[in-house]
Structure 1
Amino acid sequence: MHFKDYAVQQGEPAALKCPILQHYHLNFNMASNLSLHLTWYKNDSKNEINGVDSRIQAQEDLLWFLPATMDDSGYYACVLRNSSFCIEVAISLTVVKSNDVALQDIAYRQYIFTLTSGYINCPDLNDFITNDRDLDLRWYKESVPLPQLSKKFEYVVGSNKLNINDVSPADRGFYTCELRFTHRGKRYNITRVIQLQTIDQEKRSHPVIVYPNHKTIEAVLGSKLIIPCKVFTGFGRHSGTVVWWLANNTLVDRNSFHDSRVTEGEFQKITENGRNYIVVQLIFVETREEDFKTDFKCIAKNEYGSQVLPTQLRKAASAFSWYTVVVPAASICLIVGVLCLYKCRKSRAQKDYIQAKL
């Protein structure tokens, strides 16, 4: 199953995609033919979101915000059910004001090595375009428009990429890509903020931990929790990098820590836009008080170097009985071995639904 957090600027469109159909290799029509119905709710509300002409619209497996406002921030549940089966997944939406501090919090982190030519990409646009010809992007660095063709920067026509030639440390910083989007005759601007970090050539093979990117992570007491450690390993073949978790300087293996309540997930190798990553998840079957007093560390190491990233849990309130931490402001989707799918709340239907397991 693909978990994702969404973040958008106030006044811009947002489209939340329910991951359930994709996981079961279904489209909306196939689900309808199987008498499966998809519905959307916000937080713990019993009121279904089904507006067609309203600002918030449920259209097949997408929940549209045209546009998003600050009050839209929160969790949204997509529910797939029939008479005897029900799956519910929550998706987070964060709406921020258009100021430098807020935009840095939702920036997509991308990496390029110095002394080479590379590119950055404008992520998460698929739901706003029908084909690549619609990709008419404008690029900015630190709010200054970039020319479409220069010795340093080059737009790639029909692509979401911006080429950067002869990369140097001076090229790091915040870039913004802008797409014009028209819906029912009304035009919107869709922007994505990318934080570019450059890596010196001598550290080309060093592992770089890109998430967690905060020293504290919010979690709900009693909830299920997944924290992925995502490590950038370069552009070529996957290196011999190893990644693992520590809890109070003790190894978190798959069987021993806290009576198997906290375990490590599978070692995953993924590639995004030509960039290689390794992901190892820290999985809490249930968060308890002791977890908020535990020092967790993600460690990445290969023959060229290592990096250690400490993190701690911080209590948070939530309307849902589970919580999944995913890479925010990132384009990756993490495939987990055991999906956090749960019984739908009986208050929404007077039937006993089975728990869905994969």
Structure 2
Amino acid sequence: MVRLVLMFALVIIQHVYGRRPPLPPLPMKDGCYLVSPELGLFRVEGEAVILAFPMFKRVLQVRNIAPLTAKYIITKANGTEGVIHQDEGRVQQRDQQLWFLPANASDSGEYTCTYRNETYCVTGSIKLQVYEGTSVEMKKLSYPIPAMVGELNVPLRCPIEDFKKPDSVIKWYKDSSSTDHQLIRGGSFRRDNAKLIIPSVKRSHAGVYTCELRVLIGNQQYKVSRTIVLHVEGVDPETPTPTVPDLSMTSNPGLISSSSYTTHNTPVIQRPVIVSPLNGTIFESLHGSGLELVCTVLTDCQVADSTEVEWLVNDQSVESSYLDRRALQGGRRVTRVSEGCQIELRLIFVEMTEEDEKTELKCVTENQGGRQEIVTLLQLEDSTFTWVVVGAVAVSCFLTVVSVFLYVLCKPRRKKKLDYILARQNSTF
């Protein structure tokens, strides 16, 4: 009897406490369940923008309303209801995201994502604000990060997960835009993939940081950037004034006490070396074809992250040159070799044109140990020579076929002639 009572009590406890409490019901409007609005998005005109609905997707998953592969419809709330964006054009819907390639100020507004089937209708919303480049409100566009003086290894992360790839090359600028070319190159910073790390925070590190990435989408290059504001609290410690030893207090003026003078052996950082391409190399490619160049740099592994490698076009950055729309710099890769660490940086051409003839390309590398650069040239491959080779091969193949045909055609005739001679000989005998 006691055992039955205990078992019954256990069943009741499991029934009451073993289940999760029911989820609160969603509000409804016009026959659709409403999900809480997403966090507003603030972006700059002229850049690629991806509009996503993470909270909306999460609600559907938790409530088992729709599978992950369900189809969604994203519309703009201010006057363009019912417009379904295709997977082409400047504004494209890709699964549960809306892509702007690039975004315009007129794209600002409220967007609604709707999932509807025979049983449910669920909607979520997000507000997008696209600012013109000349009227950017930095407070709304920036990501604030606090730090204290003396704090070690403070990372600044570039929040561009939607566009970032393992081989993406992200450039960092401080207190300026990329047009001022005030690029962060080592110094008191370290690079760790997509992060900018401050080894020891000082008051001078406070300010506005901009991370920038160039992405290639459908053979078209787009800019993506984010702004981070670093707030630093505290006061830098005072630097002690170095003291000069008093030689008159020593018994031997030529000797200095070891307690007042020490020698610090600091490692010497070697200058990075460009292994390939060689200086003066000429790269040839046919008109309209693509081309990929790789700059390989050898350096010490301890400074590999802070070693900058960059391609220049006619002494300008790729983004500032006439190749901005047809070339993409990226694919930085660091590998360890027997001599140290090897850095590879690619320059990818979508297509070559007559305009690229005799274009000067430079690979430049620099770190605390020094700087090196090499110069290469672009050249269109002579298509006449190519057609001559193709024609020669075609003629050779044609002559070979004709020779085989003639050989096969003539061989039976010789045999008939021989049979005729033998027949005459036999008849004579």
Instruction: With the length of structure 1 as denominator, give the TM-score of the two structures.
Output: 0.49
Larger radius of gyration: 2
Task: Tell me which protein shows more strand as a share of its residues.
Answer: 1
Instruction: With the length of structure 2 as denominator, give the TM-score of the two structures.
Output: 0.42
